[in-house]
Amino acid sequence: MSLLVVGLSHRSAPVSVLERASLVGDEQAKLVQDTLAAEPATEAAVLATCNRIELYADVDKFHAGVAELSTLLAQHTGVGLDELTPYLYVHYEDRAVHHLFSVACGLDSMVVGEGQILGQIKDALALGQELHTAGRLLNDLFQQALRVGKRAHSETGIDRAGQSLVTFGLEQLAQGAPVAEWARGKRALVIGAGSMSSLAAATLARAGVAELVIANRTLERALRLAESLAEQHAATPAAVSAAGEETLRGSLVARAVPRDRVSAELPHADIVVSCTGATGLVLTAAELRTALAQRAACPPGAHPAAADVSLLDLAMPRDIDAAAHRVEGLHLVDIESLAEAAAEPSGEPGSSAGAMAADVDKVRAIVSEEVAAFGAAQRAAHITPTVVALRTMAADVVASEIARLDGRLPDLDDKQRAEITQTVRRVVDKLLHAPTVRVKQLASTPGGAGYADALRELFDLDPQAVAAVSRADGSARTAGPNDPKGGRA
């Protein structure tokens, strides 16, 4: 295993750099394909979120791999290599495994313990499988990372400290008040209908907003989301009085509009959440000032009398002009301000500092345990092709000797020949059993990779025979449901 990860995140780079380095459109697919085409890499996967870009690869040379992956990140993000390099981090082999497992558990997230990262890891794996850039190593790694993340959330209280970036952002807008109390009865506009925007819309609906407008470039997708939320939050009986009168929980009014209708909806919105894949600004400071002026001119009752309009920008690069921070009547929370809030003790609501520290320690112990287990399994798997090749060679020797015996003793009947053949095979199997079992045990220990080399040398195994077993094993493990042969596209 020669696993290498090169990346940058909110921990290593300022938001201004992360914003410029975002991968948009099909750049993720192009990046992993170009990585696989590069000489040092045999597998590749990219994990790209709103606050991290990480390129994973199986490389045969460390220094060449770091140089190539760094160059590819610079080329595909459009940030010059000289400018990008100071913010890049590099992890290799077990440290790379440890890093991804920590990421999967939410230990490296802007909001510690948030669970949305698991879906993003799943997406990264799915892209690698679709493009056939993820082979045996990265398939094993990312699948195990998903299991480790789920284990951390199920066996510890890390969820008490963690939440989604959406919830954290809304808490910052609420400024200490319960989100449900702050949002109740307000009108919300959500721009975008992707996974983050959908999560924001669902969170606002649960918090009790009176009206929710989904604006998206593809109206059909926005309609599906609005209809689903309206159905989930329809008016239902809350209580029945002694007189038999029924009170109803407030029903949610959910609408969908095309994105070019955003300017018409802005004056009526108390809360605006934006998370799109746009490369430019979705809302400029000038547009927001215009909306505030129109809002002030609205007749009484046209919108709730909220003091400010609350803006939550979860996009990277940003959707909302940073100049909105300086506009009176607007309260903007964006990725940069979320990063600052998360760095403060008060930025980790939902549990006491002591309880959160204990949960984090438990998760770290899980990560360390799982890294050791993954490394042992990978080292053991590394020697399997050599063991298979050895047993294949032994079977060929037995077959050759039985054929020679047939020539020297042609009068043997079938029963005698079968008994002799079985006896020879048992002898060979018994001779090989202890050393092959032991070499697998030794290979699973740190530094055990050399045992495979020793076995090949001692038994003069054909390297091509070992490679053939490896290729067959890799193809079997990377084949998808529609690709029985697997392998690289």
| Residues belonging to the active site | 50
Q: Are 402 and 421 in contact (CB under 8 A)?
A: yes
d(CA 389, CA 11): 46
Contact 164, 114 (CB under 8 A): yes
Annotate 385-426 with three-state secondary structure: HHHHHHHHHHHHHHHHHHHHHHHHCCCCCHHHHHHHHHHHHH
Encoded amino acid at 42, one letter: T
Residue with tokens 């440290």: 95
Q: Indicate the Cα dihedral angle 110, 186, 234, 242, nearest 10°.
A: 120
Nearest to 472 by CA among 378, 414, 385: 385
Other beta carbons within 10 Å of 339: 18
Strands 52-59 and 3-9, bridge-based pairing = antiparallel
C-beta atoms surrounding 437 within 10 Å: 11
CA triple 282-165-311, angle to 5 deg: 40
